[in-house]
Amino acid sequence: GLMSRVTQDPWALLTWYRVLAVGSLALLAWAVPRVASRAGQDPVEASALVVASPFVLVHGIGGLHNDLVLAALVVAALAVTRPGRWVPGALLVGVAAAVKAPGILGAVGVVLLSLGPGVSRLARLGRALAVGATGVVVLLAAGWLTGLGTGWIHALLVPEGERTQLAVTWVAGRWVRDLMVHFGPSGVTLADHVHPALLAKKVGLVALVLTAAWVALVRRTGSPARALSGAGLVLLAAVVLSPAGHFWYFLWCVPLLGCLPLRRPAHVALVAGIVTLGLTAPADAALRKVWLMDWSALAVILVPVVAGVAAALVERRRERAQAT
């Protein structure tokens, strides 16, 4: 809003928005090596995957969305969190949520990183409530200070009406509806009453909340690597279980996943996914190339899976050869 008051030139305004994205990339360049080192990953390799990857550059810098700002704030929140020191991380998570609501899920990582080993479930719950409350207060304060208020609450309902090929829940719900329709008029009537696609989206959100709660309350504490992998799992679940799915949504989880010491099959799948996502810029819905969007969505799903399975088979064959 501030930038739009400075200039009314759309090209200049677009440039200012990209300056904000470049600033976020600089914040990632600072935070990623620190988070990777704590996780036990090579900081140089993590920086290559996150800061210089084609996906981050194409959709984070070249795209029209603010998800890179969210990603940078979440990773920075994890970088500044230490055992017993959770307030700075909680504040940054609140700012990330003010940019985009899924940023609040970074609170799971802040909770786990700020707790020592062997803490009780009650202590976990107390810390989760403290971090979550701090993030929400920052979110509400940001709305009050900027004059935007809480209009974002109504905007959260927008994904329910979207039909995107990368939304696993919507695709599953559509398949269920098609199956119901095959049973004739009674199936059609049932589908009209149940609304399988909408129901699947709500089930996905419930599953996401349960995943975040399970990781926060059950994941072993006292190990930065375990805490960060738990946070990565929650952010990945947020992308997979989101009511709507877009290529740039993977910016929520890829920066953190790139900082983790993954097993070789998972690492190969991540690299394949990053490269594939880096080629999907022409599949933006604004260009209205439906066939390209469909094929790109299929590639984003299949290429990492095939690459990961192939790497797992090669690794298993190598282990058998060494054993014999």
Q: What is the pLDDT of residues 212-250, one digit of tens each?
A: 999 999 888 888 999 999 999 999 999 999 988 888 999
pLDDT at 207 over 70: yes
Percentage of residues of the chain with pLDDT beyond 90: 52
What does the DSSP assignment read for 216-274? Answer: HHHSPPS-HHHHHHHHHHHHHHHHHS-SS--GGGGGGTHHHHTTS---HHHHHHHHHHH
Q: What is the pLDDT of residues 124-147, one digit of tens each?
A: 999 999 999 999 999 999 888 887
Q: Report the C-alpha gap between 126 and 107 in whole angstroms.
A: 13
| Residues paired with 85 in a beta bridge | 82
> Which residues are within 8 A (CB) of 226 and not within 5 positions of it... i.e. 6 or more apart?
112, 219, 220
Tokens of 16: 């200012």
Res 324: pLDDT: 72
Q: Crossing angle of helices 196-218/224-240, nearest 10°?
A: 170
Tokens of 309: 């399975």
pLDDT at 292 over 80: no
For 119-139, b/e burial (b = at least 16 CB within 10 A) is eeeeebeebbebbbebbbebb
**Which of 2-16, 196-210, 286-300 has maximum average pLDDT?**
196-210
What mean pLDDT value characterizes the chain?
88
- Token look-up 């009537």 returns 189
Tokens of 59: 């959709």
pLDDT at 287 over 90: no
With contact defined as beta carbons under 8 Å apart, do 167 and 245 qualify? yes
Q: What is the pLDDT of residues 56-79, one digit of tens each?
A: 998 999 887 889 999 999 999 999
Q: Report the C-alpha gap between 110 and 125 in whole angstroms.
A: 13
